[in-house]
């Protein structure tokens, strides 16, 4: 498991049902008291629910989550008390899988719950088994054991727009320019080690953008920082593919575009089926009269582009209109 993706395997155990009681009524003035053993208490369940959390770090520190078992039945036909739920808070966007990787639940809504392990049923006390022909049963049911299982929790960001591209393509700068987010920005590769979220706010709409750590060639097969984060992109509605303009080298920009496109194609998440807009970024580094050369090269290869600069703000108005049209 990569240290950069937020996922954890935990063991959950629901409570056992409480055993029924074997008891006989023994009171003054009741000479023929019969069985009065009560039923065992119902065990409660273990389930994740959504919370305001942003990570799964707490579960990495406590990988065994147990619900409380029901209590033993008591005399005088008293039921055993119920056990307490084990509620596991998880962030919105958490996917719940079983130990074999099968999808159980996708927790995408605030307040959503999912019962991952059902509690055991309490056993019947001996009073339940009393009949006209068997008036003094000396047995009771044991409680039914609860479920115990391993589950895999995987947190995927919930964002409408995903920013992808090679390291230093200008994704963090663009995110900051559009959303006032404050990602780490520097002029060396792999500045972004974790996905950054930002919100583009307009008069009547909010659009969540995610800056995905830079991908490299081989990312779809596990190379580099961006491999695990391809799965974050699966939730997005629109992809913004940033390609840094390389001064005096349009061919390099095209090669960079092809590298990321190939990694998206190789992924098993059908990422190329999403709407994707190609942004030629860092326009402030290239003379304005040369920008058309880059666009023409991409156009010759069947790719429409938009030129932007997160530093100067060039082209951002057009980009915002594109996002408003594609993110209802």
- Tens of pLDDT, residue by residue over 225-260, are 444 556 667 778 899 999 999 888 999 999 999 998
**How far is residue 91's CA from residue 112's CA, in Å, rounded to a whole number?**
10
* Highest averaged pLDDT of the listed ranges 13-22, 224-233, 299-308: 299-308
Q: Which domains are seen in the chain, by residue range? A: 1-155 (2.70.210.12), 161-326 (3.40.50.300)
State residue 39's pLDDT score.
Answer: 53
Provide the 10 A C-beta neighbour count for residue 30: 9
pTM of the model: 0.60
Name the residue with higher pLDDT: 108 or 299: 299
Element (H, E) at 201: strand 196-201
Q: Which residues of 67-106 are buried (b: 16+ CB within 10 A; e: fewer)?
A: bbbbbbbbbebebbbbbebbbbebbbbbbbbeeeeeebbb
Estimate to the nearest angstrom the gap between the alpha carbon of 278 and the chain centroid: 27
State residue 187's pLDDT score.
Answer: 46
Q: Which region among 137-146, 151-160, 215-224, 250-259 has the lowest average model confidence (pLDDT)?
A: 215-224
pLDDT (tens digit, 9 = 90+) per residue, 170-216?
A: 888 999 899 876 544 444 444 444 567 788 888 778 888 888 765 55
């Amino acid at each position: 498991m990569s240290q950069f993706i937020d996922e954890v395997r935990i063991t959950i155990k629901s409570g056992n049902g409480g055993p029924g009681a074997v008891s006989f009524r023994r009171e003054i003035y009741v000479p023929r008291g019969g069985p009065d053993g009560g039923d065992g208490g119902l065990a409660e369940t273990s389930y994740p629910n959504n919370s305001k959390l942003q990570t799964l770090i707490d579960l990495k520190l406590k990988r065994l989550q147990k619900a409380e078992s029901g209590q033993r039945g008591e005399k005088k036909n008293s039921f055993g008390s119920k056990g307490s739920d084990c509620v596991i808070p998880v962030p919105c966007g958490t996917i719940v899988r079983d130990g074999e990787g099968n999808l159980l639940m996708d927790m995408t809504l605030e307040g959503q719950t999912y019962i991952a392990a059902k509690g055991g049923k309490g056993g019947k006390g001996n009073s339940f088994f009393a009949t006209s022909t068997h008036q003094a049963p000396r047995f009771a049911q044991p409680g039914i054991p609860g479920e115990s299982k391993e589950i895999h929790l995987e947190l995927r960001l919930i964002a409408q727009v995903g920013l992808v591209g090679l390291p230093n393509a200008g994704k963090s700068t663009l995110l900051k320019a559009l959303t006032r987010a404050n990602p780490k920005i520097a002029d060396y590769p792999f500045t972004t080690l974790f996905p950054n979220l930002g919100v583009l706010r307009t008069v009547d709409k909010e659009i969540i953008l995610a800056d995905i750590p830079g991908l490299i060639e081989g990312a779809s097969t596990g190379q580099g920082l961006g491999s695990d984060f391809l799965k974050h992109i699966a939730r997005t509605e629109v992809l913004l593919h940033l390609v840094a303009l390389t001064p005096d080298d349009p061919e390099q920009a095209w090669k960079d575009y092809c590298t990321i496109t190939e990694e998206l194609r190789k992924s098993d998440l059908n990422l190329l089926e999403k709407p994707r807009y190609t942004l030629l970024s860092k326009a402030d580094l290239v003379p304005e009269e040369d920008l058309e050369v880059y666009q023409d090269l991409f156009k010759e290869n069947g790719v429409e582009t938009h030129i932007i600069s997160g530093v100067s703000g060039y082209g951002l108005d057009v980009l915002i209109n594109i996002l408003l049209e594609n993110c209802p």
